[in-house]
Amino acid sequence: MIFETHAHYDDEKFDADRVELLSHLLKEKNIDKIVNVGASFRGCSDSYDLAQAYPSVYAAIGIHPENIEDYTQEAETWIREKAVDPKVVAIGEIGYDYNWVKDPEERKRQGQVFERQMELAIELGLPVIIHSRDAAEDTFNTIVRYNEQGLKGIVHCYSYSKELAIEYVKMGWLIGVGGVVTFKNGRKLRETVEAIPMESIVLETDCPYMAPEPHRGERNSSLFLPYVAKAIAEIKGLSVEEVESITYKNALSLFKKVKGNN
Ligand SMILES: [Zn+2]
């Protein structure tokens, strides 16, 4: 069975087949648990609704660094209220995105919203899902500080060095591995997968984005996760089933509200 730790089924690219996918198609293909991750305030609300509507879907709620203007008092109050729901399992995705944002003031504001939500996660007793692009050092420094207070989470769509990944693993954080591990130019991520223990890896799509080979460029969905598991299995010298079952357990150990089926 597969635990999909990062999907965006609220995206309009799923308007035509969202109901079929979430009500039975994914389940039939062994996709047992799905965390739908909010990025905007609207996305959080949609994730919450999907989690209420489908037994296998859970919600992560949080404001992405590209949408920090969404982080209002109203949004924070909403997150606080919904976080106690049994189907809300994490705060995310939150973090830094320096890929688009070059202005130092704007980056500072990203940091404020990120830290505010890290504090909220600690207060609410939930793990976090981290988005980090071109911001290795600031992300690491922030996580180290909150890790000291007991916070845990996933560094999603991990794109940094294997040395840094090892530092996260030492702190008990998980590394999110998706379609990039199958890409021709995904060597850096493959080296990371090789360098870290299997117990630190979780499967994710980031769908509708990041479809693995041989579907690169197409709309992604959790149905393509076996390609990701296969790439990891080849690196680790394991069977695809072993990769699926270990990563399933890893996700369960982080998302404490999710009850497993094995
Ligand atoms: Zn995402």
- The pLDDT of 232-252, averaged and rounded, is 98
- The pLDDT of 2-24, averaged and rounded, is 98
CA–centroid distance, residue 186 to ligand 1 (Å): 18
The predicted model scores a pTM of 0.97
pLDDT at 28: 95
The percentage of residues in the chain with a pLDDT greater than 90, rounded to a whole number, is 98
Strands 2-7 and 31-37: parallel
pLDDT in tens, 73-123: 999 999 999 999 999 999 999 999 999 899 999 999 999 999 999 999 999
Give Dmax (Cα) for the chain.
Answer: 49
First to last CA, the chain: 9
- The pLDDT of 44-63, averaged and rounded, is 98
CA-closest candidate to residue 43, choices 3, 17, 6, 98:
6
Residue 10 burial class via C-beta count within 10 angstroms: exposed 0-12, middle 13-18, buried 19 and up: buried
Task: Judge contact between 4 and 25, C-beta under 8 A.
Answer: no
> What whole-number distance in Å separates Cα of residue 11 and Cα of residue 168?
30
Mean pLDDT over all residues of the chain?
A: 97
CA–centroid distance, residue 41 to ligand 1 (Å): 14
CA–centroid distance, residue 206 to ligand 1 (Å): 5
- The pLDDT of 39-54, averaged and rounded, is 97
pLDDT over 60 at 262, yes or no:
no
CA–centroid distance, residue 59 to ligand 1 (Å): 12
Strands of the 2-7 sheet, one edge to the other: 2-7, 31-37, 57-60, 88-97, 128-133, 153-155, 174-177, 201-203
CA–centroid distance, residue 150 to ligand 1 (Å): 24
**What are the residues whose beta carbon lies below 5 Å from ligand 1 (ion)?**
206
pLDDT in tens, 141-183: 999 999 999 999 999 999 999 999 999 999 999 999 999 999 9
pLDDT over 80 at 241, yes or no:
yes
CA–centroid distance, residue 93 to ligand 1 (Å): 7
pLDDT at 100: 87
Domain boundaries, the chain: 2-254
Residue with tokens 């969404």: 70
Q: What fold does the segment set 2-254 form as a domain?
A: TIM Barrel (3.20.20)
